[in-house]
Amino acid sequence: MATQTKRKEPFRYMLTSPTECTFEIVQINENPISAKPAIAAIIDLSKSGCKLYTKLDLNANDNQIKLLVNLTLDGQSMKYRGTIRWQKQTDDSFYYGIQLELIDSEKDQILADIRSLATHNKVEVV
């Protein structure tokens, strides 16, 4: 008898070349703030989140941080609100897992952009 598993998490798509983006912190521990945009790179993306890479230590393991991620995929600029779920450090860099807060039309747009990138071999499923 074959065991069936039901995937609960959406597929993640790793960009074959990290894509530059910017992010702005909008809230720390439920306190609104105004911050300048910072540069990062998107490593992977799904309809529920993304992984960012930056040189900045945001101390996200000790704080609840909400941000706006500004990215351009397939020639279209988009802004998405999200929450940092985890932070990992390597040498002088930091990786962040971002849970995106998307409405259905934004999820559909991300999936359409991912499909377009896949036709040009710019993403792979991980």
Domain regions of the chain by residue span = 21-119
DSSP string, 72-112: EETTEEEEEEEEEEEEEEETTEEEEEEEE---HHHHHHHHH
Any idea how long the chain is? 126
- pTM (two decimals): 0.83
Coil, strand or helix at 43: strand
Q: What is the pLDDT of residues 77-121, one digit of tens each?
A: 889 999 999 999 999 899 999 999 999 998 888 888 888 887 767
Residues 50-83 pLDDT 10s: 999 999 999 999 999 999 999 887 777 889 999 9
Q: Say which CATH superfamily domain 21-119 falls into.
A: predicted glycosyltransferase like domains (2.40.10.220)
